[in-house]
Structures are given as C-alpha cells and as structure tokens.
Amino acid sequence: MDQTKTYRYKLKPTIAQEQTLGQWLGACRYIYNLTLSYKNTLWEHNRVSIGKNEIQKELAVIAKEYPWLEAVYSQTRQDAVERVFTAYEGFFKQGNGFPKFARKGQYRSFTFNQGVKITPTHVQLPKFGKVRYFNSMDFVGRIKQAIVRECADGWYLSLVVETNIEPLPVTTNHIGIDVGIKSLLVTSAGEVIENPKHLYKAERKLKRLQRSVSRKKKGSNNRKKAIKRLALAHLKVANTRKDFQQKVTTKLIRENQSISVEQLQIKNMLANHHFAKSISDAGWYGLTQLLEYKAKWYDRAFEKVSARHTSQDCSGCGYRKTDLTLSVREWVCPSCGSAHNRDVNAAINIKKRAVGHTVSQLAELDSSSTLKQESSFS
C-alpha cells in the first residue's frame, strides 16, 4: 500500500551555504509578503481577485530584474505564492484567521517540489547545489517534496517520500481513548499513561532565560545570544514532547486494530485561560494527528466521536448522571450500581460510540477470520 512518509535530516552547511540559505529564506518571505500586499490592494481598491497563476507569471518577470530573487529556484518562489493562497483558503473555508504578513523569524522554511536528489553523504538541491547532512536513517521510495527549515539549532531537511508501507498483523484489540491533563490518556482497557508535563518541568528554566532576554539591550549581541538560548530551551521541550508522542502512538497502533478518540474543539478549549497552558503542554491535537495518520499507514481503523456526556453516561446501562462534577473521579451508577472510574468509563463510552464498533459487534469478532474483522471496519 503506497503512502507518504516524512523523513527528517539535519543539514551540515558550510558558513557560505548557511548565509545563502538565510538569503533564500528572506527572499521567500519577501515574496510571501509582496503577494499578500498585492492581492489585498487589488481587492480593496479595484475589487479584483487575482489568481495564483497570474501572480506567479508577474513574479517571474520581477525576479529577472533582481538578482537576489532570480537566485532562488523558480518553483521555490512559486511555493511562497502558493502559501498565500493556502492561507486565504484556510480563512474562507476553515475559519482560520485572516492571512497576516510574516515578520522576520516567523517565515522559517522553503520548499522544493521536484529535482531533489540524495546520496549517503550529500543532498542535491535544485539551483542551490550539494549540502552535506547527517544520514540518521535510510528511506525507500520516491521523493515527492523537500522542505528546508531553519530551527534554533540549525537547518533541517524534511523529505516527503511516497513509499510502500506493509500493514501490521491483524489483532483483536479495540480501544477507546479519553485524553486528560492529570493523566495524558486512559484507555477503555484501563491502561493509564501519565502526563509527562514537559513544559511544566522546564518552566522555571524558561522563565529565567526569558528574564535574561528582557534585561539585555535591544539590538546587542548579548541579547541575540540570550534569545538563541531561550529558543533552544523551547525547542528541547517541543522535541521531547514529540518524541514521547511518537513512542506512545506507535505502541497504541501496534497493539490495537481500531482506536476511537473524542472529537475535541481544542481551539475553543484554549480560550479558557485556566487550562490553556496545561492543554497545550499535553499536546492532545498532535497526539490524535499522529494516531490518525499512523492508522492510515498500517491499515488500522481510526474514529473520532462526539465528546458529549462521555464521562456522565454509565457505560453499563446508559444512565446519565448530570450532577457529576469535574472533581469527582470515582462514582457509582444509581441505576445499575456499577462502580466507575471517571476516565475509564469515558474511554469505554468513546469506544462504544465509534461507528461500526459497538460492544456487541466486537464480541462477535472471530480472531481467526481476517475477513470478518475487515468487514466490521468497512
């Protein structure tokens, strides 16, 4: 089964190459802002909505007059224009914020859609040349896209590769997952994975580094060094969280044939300033995204279900305890007498709500029949 998979490598550019990478990044940011300004101006003054292809044609003419723009690979320039239209699409169709101009430090990557070649020691980027890299892993497949990104600790290359991924062996395990803050997640089987609280543990150090930045004179070299130390500390938190999520989701996908989770409105939940930091630290969105695309890789079933009343409904008889408060972690159903752990009960209800994955259906699955299992998830 052909799927796309991303491999990430750290580049080892020379000092001259690092300067050129920075120049390319600056040129792409300039194109992005120019396109956004041009598109906004045409609409505000003339009510004209210019198309992507028209802008790219005009950009090709402009680039010939400016060597620092002409130096950038044509398709990389076109991708900067593409990002503006993607931002508009997100605003009109998905309710994202209106596109904003990218300040220095916000626009951190540029893209090659074809022409990238790689050897065990070097990567060949169109119009840029060969760059050494750390060959941390091998890949098999066809390169569809390459993204060069600037991070606090250097430059990275992400290769989007089309490859054949073999499905995992079929299992008879099917779980629902309830995410939380105290415990990162609880499964319907009763497994609890504690929240490592990566940001909370690093918060004291981050505050100290932030104070160090604020005390330095703006524009000074000492301030730039302090900003870099702060950025590296934030990067370490993000990488540690991402590594933890990768390991947890891989384990869940390997062990279970189907996984169901709550469909949470995380953006709305972040509006509550009492829980916003804890929710961001838990990384619920990233966790569910990883589960979803790994399920596609390995031919597992993944389902998002409504989160309404999953904690209040008795997983045994369906009785709804409407007076259940957030502080109550254990409760007994007044109707059937079942004793419930709040999180495990919610996870069981999530599992039962998944389309085509009711408890009765799961009980009838024959572990020796692959055909029956496949038909249950169609």
Comparing C-alpha atoms, which of 268, 282, 288, 320 is closest to residue 176? 288
Give the position of tokens 């399920």. Answer: 295
Asked about 194 being catalytic, the answer comes back as: no
Q: Report pLDDT digits (tens) over 279-334.
A: 788 888 889 999 998 998 888 999 999 888 898 899 888 899 888 888 888 989 99
Distance (Å, rounded) from C-alpha 110 to C-alpha 77? 8
Out of 150, 262, 281, 303, pick the active-site residue. Answer: 262
Could you tell me if residue 102 is left (phi over 0), alpha (psi between -120 and 50 degrees) or otherwise beta?
Answer: beta
Give pLDDT, residue 359.
38
Ordered per-residue pLDDT tens for the chain, 378 residues: 568 889 999 999 999 999 999 999 999 999 999 999 999 999 999 898 999 999 999 999 999 999 999 999 999 999 999 999 999 999 998 888 899 999 988 899 999 999 999 999 999 999 999 999 999 988 888 999 999 999 999 999 999 999 888 888 999 999 999 998 888 999 999 999 999 999 999 999 999 999 999 999 998 999 999 999 999 999 999 999 999 999 999 999 999 999 999 887 776 676 767 778 887 888 888 899 999 989 988 889 999 998 888 988 998 888 998 888 888 889 899 989 889 998 999 999 999 988 654 333 333 333 333 333 333 333
Task: Indicate whether 169 belongs to any domain.
Answer: no
| Same domain as 212, residue 106 | no
Name the catalytic one among 79, 82, 150, 178.
Answer: 178
pLDDT digits 0-9 by tens, 105-154: 889 999 999 999 999 999 999 999 999 999 998 888 899 999 999 999 99
183 and 331: one domain?
Answer: yes
Q: Are residues 152 and 243 in the same domain?
A: no
pTM of the model: 0.80
Instruction: Please check whether residues 249 and 288 belong to one and the same domain.
Output: yes
Q: Clarify whether residues 160 and 178 are in a common domain.
A: no
What is the pLDDT at residue 326?
81
- CA distances, 3 to each of 93, 144, 162, 266, 324 (Å): 26, 11, 6, 28, 44
Assess if residue 269 is contained within a domain. Answer: yes
Residues 53, 85: one domain?
A: yes
Same domain, 194 and 323: yes
- Sequence-separated (6 or more) residues with CB below 8 Å from residue 335: 314, 317, 319
* Contacts of 22 by beta carbon, 8 Å cutoff, 6+ apart: 150
Residue 368's pLDDT is: 37
On whether both 296 and 224 belong to a single domain, the answer is yes
Q: Which of 106, 139, 164 is the last residue of a domain?
A: 164
Q: Is 38 exposed, middle or buried (0-12, 13-18, 19+ CB in 10 A)?
A: middle
Nearest Cα neighbor of 55 from 71, 43, 68 is 43
Q: Which of 137, 164, 191 is the last residue of a domain?
A: 164
Residues 9, 66 within the same domain: yes
User: Given this model, what pLDDT does residue 1 score?
Assistant: 58
Pick the catalytic residue: 82, 281, 303, 343?
343
105 vs 116: CA distance, rounded Å: 25
Last residue of a domain, one of 114, 139, 164: 164
Catalytic residue status for 2? no
Check residue 94 and give its pLDDT. Answer: 83
Q: Are residues 345 and 218 in the same domain?
A: yes
178 is catalytic: yes
Residues 128 and 179 in one domain: no
Q: Domain range spanning residue 100? A: 2-164
